[in-house]
Amino acid sequence: MTPQPVDVPPVDIPPVETQARTLAGYADASRLRQVHDRDWVLDQVTGAPRTLVDLGSGIGQLLQAALDRFPSLERAVGLERSPHRIAEATTRLSASADRVELHEADLTTPGPISHRPDVVTMTSVLHWLYPHEDRIFTWVREHLAPDGSFLLTTYHPEADAAGLGGEDDIVRDALTDLGIGRTVVPARFTGHGILPIATRTRTTDDLHALLERHFTVAAVHDRDAVVSGVDAPGYARFHAATFGDYYARLVEPARRPAFFRAVGAAAARRQDERGHVSSMTVRLWRLAHRG
Ligand SMILES: C[S@@+](CC[C@H](N)C(=O)[O-])C[C@H]1O[C@@H](n2cnc3c(N)ncnc32)[C@H](O)[C@@H]1O
């Protein structure tokens, strides 16, 4: 049976396509999920670090927290692909400008830097580097100071048989609401060259095997990342700030405002039905040079 489009009411959100294009609004949006990684990760830093490099540094929140927390830090370096995010980080970190370096970089083809950091962090980024994670692991191995730590967080949504899970599921609900048959959604991902996030995320076992080629896995810690207590417009903003137009490309440009509304509505429905929008394991890896 062909699904009928449901009427998704418009919600009052800022120009969400612009927001998605520039990944704006992350300071607010990250309160829902990613912000909780920050102290968790920095709690793993021991001693008095002098140089910290954050990979995929976004709007500079982790760098800011590290600078506040570790007066010993002489250099806080961010590598980030998005120029919009670098601009926002530059403003955020302006009070510590003499201790900060921000570089536009693609972590799938990372170039050398002149530092030997005693701490390297990478939070909520690795899935975007799939299937080339090896390249950044090699880079970290080559740059990390001999006694340094590499602190990495990875998200692990459960994948279904088609390789969809986590945000992919919410997007599938939204597309279904827009009249796209539920069963054809995986083929639509493939047809638009969009790799599901749950496919981009390797299992913890696969990742362990990959990491062990480069590092000693000194410790792992898991927590549940539960996204909850958000309404439809709030979730649409979270989605746009976190995923940009990655998924929105599944629909033609004229339908993108409706797409973002539908994503918000799908999330709100899950909140009503399940008491939360999503829940997944986040793993924090503490990695060191191999002995
Ligand atoms: C979900 S955000 C995480 C930001 C920050 N690390 C945090 O924990 O809040 C993912 C970040 O990785 C960046 N990113 C994604 N792919 C990248 C790549 N190939 N090279 C550099 N940065 C990348 C994005 O621009 C974005 O800022």
CATH number at residue 196: 3.40.50.150
Phi/psi of residue 31, each to 5°? -60, -25
On whether residue 6 sits in a domain, the answer given is no
* 23 DSSP assignment: T
Q: Which residues contact 26 (CB under 8 A, 6 or more apart)?
A: 58, 59, 85, 88, 241, 242
- Residue 148 Cα to ligand 1 midpoint, Å, equals 22
Which residue is closest in CA terms to ligand 1's atom 10?
Answer: 125
The 10s digit of each residue's pLDDT in 47-74 is 999 999 999 999 999 999 999 999 999 9
Tell me what pLDDT residue 23 has: 67
Q: Which residues contact 231 (CB under 8 A, 6 or more apart)?
A: 264, 268, 271
The residue whose CB lies within 8 Å of the most ligand 1 atoms, and thus the one to mutate among 30, 32, 125, 127, is: 125
The residue whose CB lies within 8 Å of the most ligand 1 atoms, and thus the one to mutate among 37, 41, 54, 81, is: 81
The 10s digit of each residue's pLDDT in 77-88 is 999 999 999 999
Tell me what pLDDT residue 11 has: 43
Is the per-residue pLDDT at 15 higher than 50? Answer: yes
The 10s digit of each residue's pLDDT in 86-113 is 999 999 999 999 999 999 999 999 999 9
Cα 128 from Cα 131, distance rounded (Å): 9
Taking residues 272-280, report their average pLDDT.
94
Q: Which of ligand 1's atoms lies nearest the C-alpha of 129?
A: 19
On whether residue 50 sits in a domain, the answer given is yes
On whether residue 110 sits in a domain, the answer given is yes
Predicted TM-score (pTM) of the model is 0.90
Type of residue numbered 55? L
Q: Where are the beta strands (DSSP E) in the chain?
A: 51-55, 75-80, 100-104, 119-123, 149-156, 215-227, 278-289
| Residue 198: band (very low, low, confident or very high) from pLDDT cuts 50, 70, 90 | very high
Cα 129 from Cα 106, distance rounded (Å): 9
* For residue 131, cis peptide bond before it (omega within 30 degrees of 0): yes
Taking residues 119-128, report their average pLDDT.
97
Q: Which residues contact 248 (CB under 8 A, 6 or more apart)?
A: 17, 20, 256, 259, 260
On whether residue 148 sits in a domain, the answer given is yes
Give me the domain span that covers residue 38. Answer: 16-289
Number of domains in the chain: 1
Q: Which of ligand 1's atoms lies nearest the C-alpha of 121?
A: 6
Percent residues over pLDDT 70 in the chain: 90
Select the more confidently predicted residue: 3 or 108. Answer: 108
- Residue 154 Cα to ligand 1 midpoint, Å, equals 12
Instruction: Name residues contacting ligand 1 (CB within 6 A).
Output: 30, 34, 37, 56, 58, 61, 80-82, 85, 105-108, 123-125, 128-129, 242
Taking residues 238-247, report their average pLDDT.
91
On whether residue 178 sits in a domain, the answer given is yes
On whether residue 31 sits in a domain, the answer given is yes
| DSSP bridge pairs for 76 | 52, 100
Is the per-residue pLDDT at 18 higher than 80? Answer: no
On whether residue 239 sits in a domain, the answer given is yes
Select the more confidently predicted residue: 260 or 29. Answer: 260
Token pair, residue 161, equals: 């048989």
- Residue 68 Cα to ligand 1 midpoint, Å, equals 22
- Residue 193 Cα to ligand 1 midpoint, Å, equals 20
Is the per-residue pLDDT at 246 higher than 80? Answer: yes
On whether residue 8 sits in a domain, the answer given is no
The 10s digit of each residue's pLDDT in 158-185 is 999 999 999 999 999 999 999 999 999 9
Select the more confidently predicted residue: 25 or 129. Answer: 129
Type of residue numbered 109? T
Token pair, residue 155, equals: 């998200």
- Residue 234 Cα to ligand 1 midpoint, Å, equals 21
Which residue is closest in CA terms to ligand 1's atom 12?
Answer: 56
| DSSP bridge pairs for 104 | 80
- Residue 127 Cα to ligand 1 midpoint, Å, equals 10
* Rg, C-alpha atoms of the chain: 19
User: What letters, b where the CB count within 10 A reaches 16 and e where it falls short, cover 108-138?
Assistant: eebeebebebbbbbbbbbbbebeeebeebbe
